[in-house]
Structure formats: structure tokens, C-alpha cells
Amino acid sequence: MLVTVVLPFCDFRSLQAAPVTRLTRPRWPDPTFGYLRGIGAVRMRLLKGFESWIGENSLVCGVPGLRLSLPRRLSNGAEVSLVRKACYFDGLVNGRFEFLFRIRPEPQDLDEVCTIARALLDRPVRLAGARSEGRPLGRQGQASGRLWAAATVKRGTDAGAGHVRSGRAFVVAETDAALEAVPPGQPVGIRLTIAGVGKPFELFTIFPPQGAATGRATAYRSGARTVRTYLVRMLQDVEALSQICAMPDSDLDHERVQEVFNEYTRHVSRLRDKVQGTTDLTAYCYAAFARLYPGRIDGLRRELAASPMRPNIRRKLLQMLDDVEQAQIYVEQNFTIERVDHMGTKYDVDVSNSQSVAVGPAASATVTGSVNQSGDPALVAALRDLALQVRGTGNDDAEIEAELIEKAAGKAENGDEKTAVALLKKVGSWALGIAGTAGSAALTGFLKAHGIG
């Protein structure tokens, strides 16, 4: 089994500096080539394909500035070896440090994968030149961000480390063991688990179908590599966009910010198209925007609508916000949330397709079920009446708008007001105008209370 521990970071220094210069193709910051102090020598990747168009055709191997203490065997008896330490940067904002491990023998189940991932994240890592004792690998995000900041400026100058933000560590495990059933026609299976080690971390486990070949030149190996790289980049790009929008001093009209928006919305769209037929975790990646930017999407949409930024970039961002809201609804409806309580520690576990996994030794899991609630009958009746009126107008998009309203009525009837509001916000203004002139008091009051229309 191959296990990759990822320490992501976002380098916002290029968005803070004046003068304003247009960002062209992704490129490394100075020094562009050569040796980055404490990280290693910059190399060009021989592989082509997605590494080139997302700017990862360059990498740094070695990373001597992060010294990892690793035993020959983990506590569960598995043999472990470090294959590679590397640093990637796409030339715009996103970068990451990767630690690649090989584990033998293959795990028997998903619980064992979680145990191995937790053991690796608990291994001590020492930053070169630091006087303090080594901290666990899973908590080295800030240290790795400072290392990157110091390595990419001339010695003695201000590194601007405050503008290099570190994300939470996450783990990707690629195993040759068929841990679960895989839908027919899919080259790989993938499971997302959110477990805790000090603070929660995400574990993506990729496994083959039953009886599939798992050698180098196989469909499974190619599919696992594609899904792994695309999901990692999609999650990073979405979170970078969210952080830029959430920064209090962020100027969305800044030329450099617009270029980052343009590149990353294009990347995210292409990443989704590549893997959405393989896994529903693309919705989880989209929903990461709302997790980092909670409850402020409507305000951001109004800010973008009034912004003087380039129309094509505004259109891409608004479309992405629509995709984020749809993904958030999908995740809430199709991902089961469990709470695992063991020795006073709580873990949140998100599992797709409503399948449960208990995380932690001797852990017990309880599924938080949804309570069926009935909505306001007057509101439900008014929404269904509005759908009939909209469909009767005969407009070109009347059927689409009516279906959205009917779905909102169904959600409101089940007491799911949040989803009903999200659906109604996608209804065209002309259709909502009918509610303003001929709608019931319950409907107009509901729309006004949620700022719709």
C-alpha cells in the first residue's frame, strides 16, 4: 500500500505585493530554478498530461528542512519505508509538501488503513535549525508554510510568512486489497473518512474492484493515480478560492486576484469533468467552499454582481457559487454523519453512499438520523400553485423554473427549509415576480424573510 501525507499551503504573497503585474502561465517564484534553501533542488517532471496544465511539471525532491523520525515497523506490526519527500507549487497560490510511504503487507480492512494513517501522522518531524523537539507530522502545517516562505526569498529579506497560510493535513491511501465492493464499470473504489488526530484529518482510501489486476500498467493503477491527483488539486483549488474571498483585506477587483480566479475556476471545472463519473466526492470538494465561507455565499454573490471585474470571470464565479450550493445540498442528503466517542475524544466521520465506518480503537458509532418534520401547509400549497402559474406562462424556461419550485415545495413539506431556500434562490426573477403579484401571504412573507426575489 502507498500512503501519501499531504501538508497543503496557500501562498498569497503575490496577491499582496505592488506593483500590479499580470500573471501569465504558472511559474515558480524566485528563484525559479536551482536550489530552494531547506527544500531541495527544483526538477522538471518527465511526465506530461495533467501535471503540465495544472503547473506541476516542476517539483522539489528531498526536503531536507523537514526531518522525519520513522521506525522500521509501526505499532500494528506493518513494515513502513519512506519513498519520497517532495514539494509542489503551481506558480499561482497553491502548494503542498508530500510524504510518500510504502506499507507492507496490504491492510485487511478500512479500520486498519485508518490506524496506519493515524500512526504516520503521529510520527515526530523536526524542522531544520529548530531548537524545540519534533512535533507530529500531522501538525507541521504552519512549519512547512514558514519553510516555503523562507526558501523562496533572498537570505536576510522579509519572507512574508504571514501571507502563507497552511491548511489541514490529509492522507491518501492507495491499496491493492479489494476492501469493498466497487460499482460495475468503475476502475477504482474510493472511500472518504474524516477521523481525528489532535484535530480532524481527511483520509481518502482508493482500492481496486474484486479480482482486478493491480500491477503498474493496469487500469486500476492508472485510475487510482488520476483520481488521487485530481481530487487533491480540486480540493486545494476550491479552498484557495474560498480563502481569497474570505480574507478581510482581499480586493476582488485586483488584476492578480482576477487571474487566480480565472485559472482556478477553469481548473476546477476540468477536474470535475474528469472524475465526476468515477466518484461523488467532487461534490464534497465543491462543498469545501461553503465550509470555509459559511453563511456568506449570498453576500458574496451580491458583491460579485456589483463588482467591476471582467464579465467572463464574474460569470465563472457566479456559476461556481451555484455549483457549491448544489453540492452542499447533495452532501447533506447523501453523506452520513457519524460521531465516534472514545476516551473523551470525538471524531466526525463522513461516509458516502450512506455506509458507516467506526474510527478509533474499540470505538462505538451512532448515526445521527434525520427527524421527519412537516412544513407549513399554506407555504407548500402556495409553492405548488406558483409552479402551476409559472408553467402556464409558456416561457422558454418555464418548465425548468416550475420544476425548481416543485422541488422546493417538496423540501418545505418535509420540513427541510434550508434546501427549499437554496432551490428558490435559483429560480428566475421573472418567476418570483409572479409570486409577488399573485402569491399568498405565506409565500411572500417566506421569500422576504430569506431575501429571495
- pLDDT by residue for the chain (453 residues), tens digit each? 999 999 999 888 888 755 434 444 445 554 455 677 778 777 766 655 656 555 666 778 778 888 888 888 888 888 999 998 988 888 788 889 999 999 999 888 888 898 899 889 888 888 766 655 678 888 887 888 888 888 877 777 777 888 888 888 889 999 998 888 887 877 888 888 876 545 567 888 999 988 888 887 788 888 888 888 888 888 899 989 988 887 766 778 888 888 889 889 988 888 888 877 767 788 888 888 877 776 678 888 888 888 888 999 999 999 998 888 888 888 877 765 433 323 223 333 333 332 333 333 333 333 333 333 456 787 888 888 888 888 877 776 777 788 888 888 888 887 788 888 888 888 887 888 887 765 577 788 888 888 786
What whole-number distance in Å separates Cα of residue 228 and Cα of residue 172?
A: 7
What whole-number distance in Å separates Cα of residue 34 and Cα of residue 245?
A: 34
CA 26-27-29 angle, 5° bins: 135
Which of 96, 148, 92 minimizes the C-alpha distance to 264?
Answer: 92
Give the pLDDT confidence score for residue 188 in this predicted structure. 85
Q: Would you say the pTM of this structure is higher than 0.85?
A: no
Q: Which three cell numbers stand for residue 449?
A: 424573510
Q: Where are the beta strands (DSSP E) in 353-450?
A: 364-367
CB distance 207 to 180 below 8 Å: yes
Give the pLDDT confidence score for residue 354 in this predicted structure. 29
Give the pLDDT confidence score for residue 6 in this predicted structure. 92
Give the pLDDT confidence score for residue 173 in this predicted structure. 92
Which of 415, 424, 414, 416 minimizes the C-alpha distance to 449?
Answer: 424
Residue 66 CB: number of other CB atoms within 10 A?
23
Q: How far is CA 309 from the centre of its chain?
A: 25
CB distance 244 to 188 below 8 Å: no
CB distance 170 to 84 below 8 Å: no
Q: Residue 310 burial (CB < 10 Å; 0-12/13-18/19+)?
A: middle
Which of helix, strand or coil describes residue 180? coil
What DSSP string runs through 229-258?
Answer: HHHHHHHHHHHHHHHHHH-TT--TT-HHHH
CB distance 191 to 200 below 8 Å: no
Each residue's pLDDT tens digit, 145-176? 888 888 877 777 777 888 888 888 889 999 99
Residue 253 CB: number of other CB atoms within 10 A?
11
Residue 452 CB: number of other CB atoms within 10 A?
16
Give the pLDDT confidence score for residue 4 in this predicted structure. 93
Which of helix, strand or coil describes residue 147? helix
What whole-number distance in Å separates Cα of residue 324 and Cα of residue 319?
A: 9
> Residue ranges per domain, the chain?
2-334, 377-449
Give the pLDDT confidence score for residue 385 in this predicted structure. 83
How many Å is the Cα radius of gyration of the chain?
Answer: 24
Residue 162 is given by DSSP the state G
